[in-house]
Amino acid sequence: MSYRSVFAPGLFKDQVIIITGGGSGIGRCTAHELAYLGATVVLMGRTLEKLEKVAAEIIEDGGKVDYLTLDIRDEEGVKTTIAEVMKRHGRIDGLVNNAGGQFPSAIEKISRNGFLTVVENNLVGGFLMAKEVYNVIMKEKGGNIVNITADCANGFPNMAHTGAARAGMENFTKTAAWEWGRFGVRVNSVAPGIVASSGLDNYEPQIKAHLLTKGEMIPVRRLCTEAEISAGIVFLLSPASAYTNGETLRIDGGGQFGSSHLYLPLPRLEENHNEAYDGFHRSHLKQQ
């Protein structure tokens, strides 16, 4: 089997695209789709074993891949790693700022260090990556940056730290799009709703189980697939979005239009006609 992308094969031929947080979840799926479409994907993350596993999958599927370990919060590490990518590949055409992380907690229970750690993961690290690829090559050659934020337009109860960071990244996206657009650098973001992915494995079992039921509170009555997020990212990296700059593409099934965390589940339908798109041939989608 191979990735079932809706985009044309060869769309990203000869391009080099960095994906942070490429060892799991949305990053892994996006790496597979971009590799299927001809890109050389450069996976980055803190855990070597995860990167090696995804790289092996992509190679097995016939794609081109490289990987480097990196903590995106480390400014000197970011500079060294981007320099290494340039040494190995000679170009960087795209950056998917996907790496991040958070933990559920009421505001009053979040420590200063906990808050700062999440902000550094979800905002500062993305800023460092974007600034470095811009300074090293994109200011001269142009390029595309896609920042992954979150569906926090109506606040983010029990996730105040990541809500603040993601909102900051959305504003950073707009500012960078304005400042860098004249150099041929487009900067956009994708705000996913709740995605049924391996990323949910980072939460405690009871929290994961609760999140898997949230599809009943979303207008389309299901959770999102990794492939549906990847498709949005690929669109923003593609020539089809050549006049799209500074935008946030919300892929949340319409959840943004209400405070779904306050709603009781809607009556279950006997049949749901909103079918999921799951082009990722290696996904293991589990929804309730």
The region of weakest confidence among 139-143, 220-224, 272-276 is 272-276
What kind of fold does domain 16-252 have according to CATH? Rossmann fold (3.40.50)
Res. 179: pLDDT tops 90? yes
Strands (E) across the chain are located at: 16-20, 40-45, 64-69, 94-97, 143-148, 185-192, 248-251
What band does 38 get if pLDDT is binned at 50, 70 and 90?
very high
Q: Are 27 and 103 in contact (CB under 8 A)?
A: no
What band does 260 get if pLDDT is binned at 50, 70 and 90?
very low
The pLDDT value given to residue 262: 41
52, amino acid identity = E
Q: Which residues contact 101 (CB under 8 A, 6 or more apart)?
A: 118, 121, 122, 202
Structural domain boundaries of the chain?
A: 16-252
